[in-house]
Structure 1
């Protein structure tokens, strides 16, 4: 029997907009990872990559930073093997962290 790792949200839900439900879950041993929670990055998370590359969703930059800001923590190998819709969904969340919050 395969264990499932699941958050409490679907797609980017209203309960936690930092959770992405994968269209193609990741199999890790006996565990099936169906949702990924993105953690707000700090300067250390982004070390070694250009902010411009992250902001433009450069795949090489995402391969470096996603393992540092995902829960459960993805490996670089898992990020490299993500299906395109899942990579795009995760990239959208990463870009959201870089956008300044609007001041009213």
Structure 2
């Protein structure tokens, strides 16, 4: 997927991350499979626990974030990424605009 394509899972960072000569201004998250959630309590992700997010975000982000990148995120950007991540854990029936069969 091209990172410049706008998707609901793409977050435009308020404060871009600088990694060497690379500037990361947006991050796209993909819905994790169960393996990407290993070692993390789902309740911690739903509560937007920073330690849990530090483990999971590198596994589901494009470009791939490091734990150090997550630690360097602006709190407002971390909150946006946490919201998308927590949303991945909700069942379809609990999402108001999700088409029901």
Taking structure 1 as the reference length, the TM-score comes to 0.84
| Runs of 4+ with deviation above 3 angstroms | none
2:60 equivalent in structure 1? 69
Q: Select the residue among 30, 35, 50 that pairs with 2:26.
A: 35
Name the Cα RMSD after superposition: 1.1
2:49 equivalent in structure 1? 58
| Contact 1:18–1:39 (8 Å) recurs in 2 | yes
- Greater relative contact order: 1 or 2 (C-alpha under 8 angstroms, separation 6 or more)? 2
Which structure shows the higher helix fraction?
2
Alignment length (residue pairs)? 93
